[in-house]
A and B are shown apart, each in its own frame.
Chain A
Amino acid sequence: METLSFICLLMPLAAVAALALLHTRISRETAAWLGTGFAFASFAAALIVFVGLLGEGAGQREHVYTLYTWAQSSTLTVPFDILVDPLSAIEMLVVSGVGSLIVMYSVGYMHGDPKERRFFAYMNLFLFSMLLLVMAANFVLLLAGWGLVGLSSYLLIGFWHEQQAPVKAAKKAFVMNAVGDVGIAIAIFFMARDIGTTNFHEVFQRGPEVWSKGGTTANLVAFLLLVGAVAKSAQIPLHTWLPDAMEGPTPVSALIHAATMVTAGVYLIARAHPLFENAPDIQSLVALLGVATLLMAGVIALVQTDIKRIIAYSTMSQIGYMFTAVGVSAYSAGMLHLLSHAFFKALLFLGAGIVIHALANEQDVRRMGGLASALPWTTRLMWVGTIALIGIWPFSKDVVLASAYEAHSTTGWIVWVGGLLGAALTGLYATRLMRLVFYGERSEFAREHLHTDHGEAPWTMFWPVAVLGIGTVLAGLLWIGFGVNHAFATFLEEVAPNVEPAVSVEFATTVIAWALGIGGALLVWRLYERPERVAAVRRRFGSLTTLPERKFYWDEAYDLVFYRPAARVACWFNAVLERWVFGGSVTGTAWSVRGIGRWVSDAQTGVVRQYATVFVIGAVAIGAYLLGRSSL
């Protein structure tokens, strides 16, 4: 099992090396399939490891494998250790499984792009980084994976770097993620100083011993980890990079910004839950940030006109749900939502990709419509995803909300209400998406540019979407009787204990959530059936849409508070301080030296007689002095 775990981790890295070394010696298609092959190999390894874990008895499922010592000083050693336990195994499956499907999809989507080989190298780099992140057994290695994932994201968002927008978006994503990196780094410093190591085992055991519950240090450490999680998962307040990240190719959006990377924050909190349980105030903060994000993102999604951005904000919102889950200690529920979300969100993105592909790269939903007849299977699969998203049976995030209610705290209540409102919002925006894209009258643009001559989509693009659809349904099955049967919860129990809400509460919550979700869906449906109703709504609520359309002005705020002052100060340093003060100190020295020299050289008049006079006077003086001394 040890070898297989390492194979799972290193296969994608081998793909990168192979693609880099072979580059133009193999055709683009070969490179694409090579990249896909390595990804699937990694998944196969992950699957075998997972089955192996299942076979083991409970309590024996935690394995730490050491490769070698990575870094060391006399006071801190960082081994290259990987951890294979139920939590990481689930993540391994999600990353490699959904990852390989998306890589395969890219064979069709990226076909013909001049930098196609590079794309697959980058995708595999991402897979390696993400696997490193979830398999790391200590915080330093996790941070390494964390940063490399950020790097892959930068490379993939800015893939089409000949244009300005992707480059800007990539930089923004990277810098915001770097802020998260700093948070985790400082948390590591605390661990190194107070516990002497960053290995998960020791930190989780001794952390609560060394840092008293609810104390300043405990809160600081949890907060710093939260900063990292928030940056990576695009939650308030470090969320502004995610919508811009849609500049990258659609498979990238699907893989990184829906299924895997953005869920890393959730994984981190779930993994480090002993530290969060040790800082209850911070854990509440997690839940509150989740609620805030899920509501804000839901509202923004409602007014977006770019199909990918709608799905992006939906992602932000759903991760908000995951945050609320881990914020109320419902870890299994959160992880199961992560799992099913990976499937249906990737499904939605890839499906959107098929639409974009069929419409000659158009992404504006106002130029779509009535595509259901042209893309029947895509439509059906997208519905599967949408139903999962809205949370209609058997998918339900209500366990989360119910558990929150059970906590009987203010935070819990806020989560409950916010989560239910969010269900309504989800119903609204998800149905709006489907309605605008697939139903109603086909827009003029769509009539002209739609081309489905070779069927809905190339098979390399279609089948991954289909498989994801099946996966979504299967994931849904896992939710069934979550409160009662909890096979999933038990599997995860050893790593992350779960909270059990009362059946009655859960039932009530579920009913309300469904009602709201389905109600929202129906509302939108009926609304869009008559264009005049839509126009009426727009007239009445028109002014309200500015705020969400401008994404609540977060970007502008950050620009004003951080970016502009920094740039100003930097410019001032360059133009004034460096040029005049520090550069000037040198010229100043030069001038003064020259000045003194000039002053002194004035003594050289060139007149011989003057020299002679001075000479004689001097000689006489010295003579007199010596004579005076000797006579004394």
Chain B
Amino acid sequence: MTLRKFIEACCSLLAAVALFAIMWLTLFDVSGRKLLSESIPGSLELTELLMVVVIFAGLPLVSLRGEHVVFDSLDPFVPAGLMRGLRALIDGLCALALGWIGWLMWVKGSQMLEYGDKTQQLGLTLGYFVHLMSVLLFVVAAVHLLLMLAPTAHHHPGVDDGASA
């Protein structure tokens, strides 16, 4: 299994499970609250934590598939060699930017651990989740480094895969 495939498999599983969990959590929480006047304790907090997983584990997938919004209408007019160089350069810069944001989140997470920030109802330690965000951002940065070496074609979500329909 290549590194690319491995990252894709892990992040897909993580994000998919988190999203499915949010769906069930919302269903049970809302129906519990409306029908039995009893909600799931801490369901809002759990949803928030799961949202972090959905978004940040989904991000490497978006980058891997080249699904970020880019202005590519001029592509046919740019010489192929120049385009390859340009894209490698851009992926390098994206990796730097994401790595930097990842680092900022790492620092923020460490601060929160130091202060001992916890969620209100369940008392979960928030800092770990911010560190998770940061790690996943580093993964996205790594993905862009991989893309520098072997770029993927730009991919319009729902357009280039008939599957989305």
| Chains A and B are bound partners | no
Using CB atoms and an 8 Å cutoff, list the residues of chain B in contact with chain A: none
Interface residues of A (CB under 8 A from B): none
